[in-house]
């Protein structure tokens, strides 16, 4: 009887270890790709060429022309001029404000590269291209162009674009808890 109980217990533990744990990458909708910042000393900045997110050799860097996020032909790349929609990385301010999609498609309505869109216009208050906005001013703590900031907008890449219906600028889903 003890032998049967021991075998049952081992099988139960094995089953729990194999099927009970959830993979963190399986449940994540977004992968963090660093901060979109002019601060070349911040370890998380894409401007830090020695950092994990700024190195041209890192597989997690948008500056690596051979990585998934820097390759001009990848649907998850910031350098693909033809990508639009939910496959390109998003930009979120440190205060939780959605700042658009980080791609080079100037016709994508949510792209920061679209000069006529909400997130790419040099007149929009939520644009990183507006030199007077909270996110584009060289003097703002939340700005991409402030060379001393540590609160720059963060880049997130979708892990699975099929599981992201309706993501857009309608909600602040990454808002910081106060």
Q: Could you tell me if residue 6 is inside a domain? A: no
Instruction: With respect to residue 39, please indicate whether it lies within any of the assigned structural domains.
Output: yes
Q: What is the pLDDT of residue 19?
A: 41
CA distances to 1, 37, 49, 57 from 144, rounded to whole Å, are 67, 4, 16, 22
Q: Across residues 1-14, what is the average pLDDT?
A: 54
What was the pLDDT predicted at 150? 92
Task: Show Cβ contacts of residue 85 under 8 Å, excluding neighbours closer than 6 positions.
Answer: 108, 161
Which letter does DSSP use for residue 7 in this model?
H
Is 5 inside a domain boundary? no
Tens-place pLDDT, residues 11-61: 544 444 434 434 444 456 899 999 999 999 999 999 999 999 999 999 999
Per residue in 95-114, pLDDT (tens digit) is 999 999 999 999 999 999 99
Q: Is 9 a member of any domain? A: no
Residues in CB range of 79: below 8 A, 6 or more apart = 62, 65, 70, 71, 72, 103, 104
Q: List the domain range (segments joined by +) for residue 131.
A: 30-161
Report yes or no on 96 lying in a domain: yes
In a domain, 43, yes or no: yes
pLDDT digits (tens, 9 = 90+) for 55-93: 999 999 999 999 999 999 888 899 988 888 788 999 999
Q: Is residue 176 part of a domain?
A: no
* Ramachandran area for residue 90 (φ above 0: left; ψ -120 to 50: alpha; else beta): beta
In a domain, 168, yes or no: no
How many independent structural domains does the chain possess?
1
Q: How is residue 2 written in tokens?
A: 């003890």
Tokens of 57: 């050799």
């Amino acid at each position: 009887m003890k032998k049967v109980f021991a075998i049952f217990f081992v099988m139960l533990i094995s089953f729990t270890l194999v099927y009970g744990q959830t993979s963190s990458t399986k449940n994540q909708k977004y992968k963090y790709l660093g901060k979109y910042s002019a601060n070349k000393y911040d370890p998380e900045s894409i401007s830090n060429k020695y950092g994990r997110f700024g190195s041209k050799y890192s597989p997690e860097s948008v500056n690596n022309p051979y990585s998934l996020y820097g390759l001009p032909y990848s649907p998850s790349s910031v350098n693909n001029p033809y990508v639009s929609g939910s496959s390109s990385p998003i930009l979120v301010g440190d205060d939780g404000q959605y700042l658009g999609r980080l791609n080079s498609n100037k016709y994508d309505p949510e792209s920061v590269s679209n000069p006529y869109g909400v997130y790419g216009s040099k007149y929009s208050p939520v644009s990183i291209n507006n030199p007077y906005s909270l996110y584009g001013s060289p003097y703002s703590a939340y700005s991409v162009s402030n060379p001393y900031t540590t609160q720059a907008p963060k880049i997130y890449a979708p892990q699975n674009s099929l599981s992201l219906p309706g993501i857009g600028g309608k909600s602040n889903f990454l808002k910081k808890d106060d």
